[in-house]
Structure 1
Amino acid sequence: MESFFKAGERGSSVGQEVRAGLTTFLAMAYIIAVNPSLLTSAGIPATAAVTATCLGAGIMTILMGLIANRPLACASGMGVNAVFAFTLTAIAGGDWHAASAVIFIEGVAILILVLCGLREAIMDAIPVSLRHAISVGLGLFIAMIGLADAGIIVADESTMVALGDIFSPTFLVGLISLLVTIVLYAMNVKGSLLLGIIIAVVAGIPLGVTQMPAGIVSGLDFSTFGAPFLTDESGVTGIAKVVTNPTLLVFAFSLMMSDFFDTMGTAMAVAKQGEFLEDDGRVKDIKPILIVDSAAAAVGGLVGASSITTFVESASGAADGGRTGLSSVVAGVLFIVAAFFSPLISVVSSAATCGALVFVGYLMMSEVTEIDWSDLLEGLPAFLIVAGVPLTYSISNGIGFGFIAYVVVAAVTGQLKKVKPLMWVAALAFLVYFLVV
């Protein structure tokens, strides 16, 4: 095991990797309940949605660990699953098979780009300052997710965002999660992020936030597997509907753009915590990560789980000591086990993960000092990424703002020579993306 994963070589141990994998799994466990709730809105049977969500996440997370050997975990992506349920299915006349086919086509297309080296080449063309900005923006985004899930920050019609109800049980669980994580980390307690989650789950029982499971064991339902090639009542396969519907093909392109850059940001965020981010902002051995992530999107469509992608919550496990793919294998196995015990796993509320996510956000802020804010070309596009990711609640949107701004500022300041050819391609692609979404 040591010769394969190289835990000792990376300053870790089997025990540390197992703990980190459990931390990552618990930080992502909410998807077991949330994703099926959205998929059922599209007409997918509830048990089939749980099976697809858990097995899809488990298989691809294990493959990420075995192939890339990095502490990254995969599951159905939030945001895309809502688009799947409420937009793609509606455009396809209520046929979730066709919606799954859109995801499948998008995944295959982006996998081809990775195998051709284009995705990695574009990442290499990104200026160093923007790479640092992506990490900072992701840190704020992760922290925002944690605070919002706990109700510590809420939407407000007058001020857009406001402090939540401090007497709300959800608020209190999130606060407990955050305080326990900070105290334990300050005391150098190993596994502080994981312990913060567990203690918050226990504290949530008397507060009514941690719901007792309705059962323990659940059955499996494979009826969504092969979704793009299954037929609806009319006898037409989902993939046939997509290739004959220009609107659905445009959505496939839009999702490809989103997936393309979401993963780039996520990989950088986790790499920062997992200590495999180089000084110039490059992620070490990025290609196998991108290959598995791209294949995961296609697999998500194939099994009817929406698009499976690398989760930014993986940074919580990396921050808790995960350095190798062994932590991913652990998280993946837990997802597969959860397919049988989903009622029990679902007791981990999103509020209980608040402390881990906010603390990871704090750790990622260190990248802000690497940006030259006195240089307009370096600073302004970086700022738009840092602000754009959390404020639009989209990794892709924030990166798009920064990329386009970089080209514009370079043009007006006479520094076009600094813009690499693929940076032009990326900026133009984002311009098209914003116009069609």
Structure 2
Amino acid sequence: ACFASGVILLVCALVGVTTFVMWLVPKHVKLAIVVGMGVLIAMIGMVSVDLIIMDESTLVRLGDIFSFELLLVVAGIILVGSLVHHNVPGGILIGIGSLAIIEWAYTDTFPTQWVELPKYVPESLLDWNCLWDPSRMAAIYPSIGAFLLIGILDVSGVMYGLSTLGGLLREDGSIPNSTTVFAAASIGTMLAAVSGST
């Protein structure tokens, strides 16, 4: 589904559908998409350090605020913020490296290799039969549509946000080279699907 949505996104980008969709979406919706993506990324981060945990009655609840992972995150935010504030070259990289070493030492999970390729089963990655199998169509086409819609709105939101920050928006609200950006995103989607890293 992910690979197929990447192919469709590439076709839509090349024929101008994505640019037209971007033109149709109002400015405030584009800004809301950017904010929504930020909230989603923040939520993923909070879940990964157990600041927010699952709860059956309220869906989410506050986790242990004195856990090692959370204290390390707070220390990391303070460290990176201080380094960036004082214009230390490579401040973010220094912060990430320092926290990684501390976490490895605390959990005794030092890496055993410099580089490790993702593990996947190549023969199961691209199953084209599901596109024509009537018993599986009901499941696959909504997934393709969801991936495609997310791809268009996600990329357009990121482009709008970055273009606004960089002062690249044209007077009519359009973004230069948006077709190229959508084409690159679609190729990245296809490569991610093939490598199993969607």
By how many angstroms is 1:176 displaced?
1.5
Alignment counterpart, residue 289 of structure 1, candidates 181, 185, 191: 181
Alignment counterpart, residue 260 of structure 1, candidates 139, 152, 158: 152
* Residue correspondences, number: 194
- Superposition pairs of residues 237-256 of structure 1, within 5 angstroms: 238-245=127-134, 246-247=137-138, 248-256=140-148
Partner of 1:163: 62
By how many angstroms is 1:207 displaced?
2.6
1:231-288 superposed Cα distances (whole Å, 9 cap, x missing partner): xxxxxxx213322232223332232222222222233445456x25528765442211
> What amino acid sits opposite 1:155 in the alignment?
M
- Superposition pairs of residues 29-40 of structure 1, within 5 angstroms: none
By how many angstroms is 1:200 displaced?
1.4
By how many angstroms is 1:121 displaced?
1.1
Kept in 2, the 8 Å contact 1:113–1:119? The answer is yes
Change (3 A) 1:120 1:217: closer
| 3-state SS of 2:122 partner | coil
Change (3 A) 1:164 1:183: farther
Kept in 2, the 8 Å contact 1:152–1:171? The answer is yes
Partner of 1:207: 106
Partner of 1:149: 48
Cα distance in 1 between the residues matched to 2:96 and 2:7: 36
| 3-state SS of 1:136 partner | helix
> What amino acid sits opposite 1:191 in the alignment?
G
Change (3 A) 1:306 1:203: closer
By how many angstroms is 1:183 displaced?
1.8
The answer as to 2:169 corresponding to 1:278 is yes
Instruction: Mark the runs of 5 or more structure 2 residues left unpaired by the alignment.
Output: none
Partner of 2:27: 128
1:188-235 superposed Cα distances (whole Å, 9 cap, x missing partner): 333332222122112223432x7212344657989627943xxxxxxx
Cα distance in 2 between the residues matched to 1:244 and 1:157: 37
Partner of 1:224: 122
The answer as to 2:5 corresponding to 1:116 is no
Q: TM-score, normalised by structure 2?
A: 0.78
Identify which range, 250-259 or 104-113, moves more after superposition. Answer: 250-259
By how many angstroms is 1:109 displaced?
1.4
Partner of 1:305: 196
> What amino acid sits opposite 2:112 in the alignment?
A
Change (3 A) 1:201 1:223: closer
Cα distance in 1 between the residues matched to 2:61 and 2:55: 6
By how many angstroms is 1:128 displaced?
1.8
Cα distance in 2 between the residues matched to 1:134 and 1:220: 30
Change (3 A) 1:157 1:271: farther
Kept in 2, the 8 Å contact 1:152–1:174? The answer is no
Instruction: Mark the runs of 5 or more structure 1 residues left unpaired by the alignment.
Output: 1-101, 229-237, 308-437
1:127-179 superposed Cα distances (whole Å, 9 cap, x missing partner): 22222222223333333333332223333344443332123221122112111
> What amino acid sits opposite 2:46 in the alignment?
L
Change (3 A) 1:129 1:215: closer
| 3-state SS of 1:256 partner | helix
Kept in 2, the 8 Å contact 1:104–1:298? The answer is yes
The higher relative CO (CA closer than 8 Å, separation ≥ 6) is in 2
By how many angstroms is 1:115 displaced?
0.8
- Superposition pairs of residues 50-69 of structure 1, within 5 angstroms: none
Change (3 A) 1:150 1:277: farther
Kept in 2, the 8 Å contact 1:150–1:171? The answer is yes
Cα distance in 1 between the residues matched to 2:118 and 2:83: 39
Partner of 1:179: 78
Cα distance in 2 between the residues matched to 1:297 and 1:217: 22
